[in-house]
Structure 1
Amino acid sequence: MDFYSTIFEVIDMRSFSNLWYWIALAVLWSTASHFVLGVPFDLALKARRQGGQRMADLEDLVRINCARLLSIAEVSGLMLTAFAGAAITILGFTGFVYDMEFSQALFLMAFPMIFVGLLNIRLARRIAADRPRGEHLVSLLRRQRFYVQLIGMMSIFAAAMWGMYQNIVIGPLGG
């Protein structure tokens, strides 16, 4: 057995019948919902409960991450948008027109993350403009996390439905 056969046996390109795809999808959405604007959500909860220095640390961390996100969006936003649009288009086209399951799987992971990115930029702009503090800041982060979790649930549901359809139509072994 050669090297490439071994690799493709371990990393099965039949994504929807592969456990690694579902683990990666779960990790993607778990991470996306835990880090709101790059800030671990448990820090926001601790800051709300304990206040004081923890709240000041949270406010500083959110301010730094918002400035960083807005700087990236301002400096590289056009190029990132063009690249993301091209990548999503290629994945969608090769996945759903040419029926490549690996592209379909990547598309179902990447496409919803565009909406998460847009929500993050929108919230970062709002925080930079309004400069919320304390409980109001925590409530904004909580609402953002809810929207990310909602997008994640819809994404996982869509991937599961499409994956089941693919496995029923094509079969689990690609035959």
Structure 2
Amino acid sequence: MEVFDTIARLIDLRSFSNLWYWIALAAVWSSASHWVLGVPWDMVIRARRKGGDAGQDLAAMTALSARRLNRIRRDAGFSMSITIPFMLSFLIITGFIYGSETAQAFALLLVPMMAVFGLSLRLAHKLDAEPTLAHDPAIAIKALSRHRVNVQAIGVVAIIVSALWGMYQNLLASMLV
């Protein structure tokens, strides 16, 4: 039993003082801003610079991703509309009312990601409702660029809130020790 106590003292297992949480947070938001609506951002840049076939490829990929997200919404929408709020409510209540730091960390990671998912579903619905929108490279570039700015804004706010809350939790833990 002493071995586990020693390991637990050497490795701080609290979420906000753990380097892996911050690496995961950075990786999640980096990935979210790179894969805009399921389309890689370098594809948007290439279509903006070169046009032609690159623009047509982007328009096709955007239309495909919009249809895919709408199919997911259609097929699993009801179960997602029950499961996701339940999961997020569980994390928020467990984390911020009952004080579980791990649940707080997951809530600060997943709640903003669900906002991004909602924005992605809304854009996919808009693009899929009018097929001419998704098949025009200029409109696809504009829509994906605007969506990326929104994702990045949510990400910046989420990272700042997570950092502030993490610092608060670490200061609180250092005062208790």
Any idea what SS the aligned residue of 2:16 has? helix
Match of 2:21 in 1: 21
Q: Which runs of 5+ in 1 are unaligned?
A: none
Contact kept? 2:44, 2:58, Cα under 8 Å: yes
Question: Per-residue displacement from partner, 1:43-66 (whole Å, max 9, x unpaired)?
Answer: 011011111111111111111111
Consecutive unaligned residues in structure 2, runs of 5 or more:
none
TM-score by length of 1: 0.91
**Does the 8 Å CA contact 1:13/1:102 hold for their aligned counterparts?**
no
Matches for 1:24-173 after TM superposition, within 5 Å: 24-130=24-130, 131-132=132-133, 133-171=136-174
SS of 1:138's partner is helix
- Distance, in Å, in 1 between the alignment partners of 2:4 and 2:68 is 41
SS state of the match for residue 99, structure 2? Answer: coil
Q: 1:123/1:30 Cα in 2 relative to 1: closer, same or farther (>3 Å)?
A: same
Percent identity of equivalent pairs: 41
Q: Distance in 1 between matches of 2:63 and 2:6?
A: 47
Preserved CA contact (<8 Å) 1:66 1:125:
yes
AA paired with 1:22?
A: W
C-alpha separation between the residues in 2 aligned to 1:3 and 1:15? 21
Task: Give the aligned length.
Answer: 174
Secondary structure of the corresponding residue to residue 171 of structure 1: helix
Structure-to-structure mapping, 1:1-16, within 5 angstroms: 12-16=12-16
Q: Amino acid of the residue matched to residue 139 of structure 2?
A: H
Encode CA deviations 1:120-167: one digit per residue, 9 max, x unaligned.
011001111233212221011000000000000000000001001001
- CA distance in 2 between counterparts of 1:18 and 1:80 reads 30
Distance 1:86 1:10 in 2: 35
**TM-score normalized by the length of structure 2:** 0.90
CA RMSD of aligned residues (A): 2.2
Q: CA deviation at 1:13?
A: 3.4
